[in-house]
A and B are shown apart, each in its own frame.
Chain A
């Protein structure tokens, strides 16, 4: 019986100590649990390989930041658009920063789980929120009481152009035909990624201008929404250039129009939405954007150090190639520029959504 009690006590004690280790993983490195370590080892090795006493190291000594690994929390899943932009950027930025950036995905709730998580950590610059445009609308959509106004922007990477896509066998040849059909009572389905997702946002913009409303069918990701249109289950969807360019080239998707002020280089024959609906120019240019953020209240010198490292990484030719590959319109904004952009985007979008009746002011 003694053995039994021993084992129970041992198990309990170990579990508690491991949990304590996990809970404080941001501040304690000695008690961190084994799994924690395994996950980080690879990234650490990368940093160890490339830490060559860079200029950033001397800069860091000024503020004593960073003295330990920095966590990069990506609010969307592995392999998604946000993730794929953040990982190479973090790999480059950690060389400039002199500490590893451990990128993790924390998905769920239109990115709100990650946003809340980063907000709950200390404002010390060791937890970065790597996000897309979604948090700008959290309060308007009643998802979370936080927006990017509760964060400091380290770097705005860029934004993306989006377009209206239908399957290759679709009877519709323009957005106007779709809207007219919807207005005359035909049931038109749009494949979306849920409330607050990109197709939902754009369909609200379309509704606010054309008055046409659509049946929203929600899918788990933009890839599965695209599949629904390819397979003919839904009438249309909204795609980023990145996620439709290959299908556009192969003819599997027809692009009806782009939400842009200038034609997209690789899709020069696709008309702009303003050709049919000039009123759209009030909202343009509009598109989902990507950025790196820290919690509001983080020391200004820390934000500066981070911004400097990320801007340097952003300007690296190899990262510019990544942006080009992904058809991202590069911005590279920091400080006040970033603030102004975020403010504008938010005001315009909320205004349009309110007009469409998608949100109540």
Chain B
């Protein structure tokens, strides 16, 4: 009986499992294989095995600067999205159901506009002849337009406005699912609103915080359009280098950079989970 059910469940997951092996794991292994070879002018890659690509990524200052910039940009976006997103989520979670549904829909609404359109929207605001610069110049505050566009700050602002809803929605869901009796128990034990928040509400919402951070971080690493449009040539991130390597036919280097990105994604995701330990409040399942 049990064996039959186990067989059934294996049967059900077999097709997606096969597809993901065929179309994801397989190509990924092939990509790793490619990354361990040199660039060839006639072939996809050189036949010689080498670690040169990785050595270059991890020693060449050009790459190191961009890796550092990628990590710093991601850290700033994570911090800001948490600091801005949590209070918003906290407020939304305490709304009556109807208003909460409307608020969530409003949050999703900007996501319906293409990233390309939104990036150019920021260009219209931040550019040399953008809204900010022309307004300030007309008001006589500045003579020379400020360089707002093509800076790391522009990238942060652009990505933040795209990614914030993911953070807010993750945390809101965690807070809505929280039994209000936890907070009441804390209050009855003498904890005021601030201590109730830091000792009870915040730790209990950690699964939402963790999933929000993961989503925002992984989406930051893979965002391309926003970085390309708002960052320009000076504010490239790691993902831009993958693209640059591909369009210059340096396939093995592109593969090595892709694996560097994957490594960073895994390491930082692991760090987020280790720091926040969302598992400790997920009672019931061991």
Q: Do A and B come from one complex?
A: no
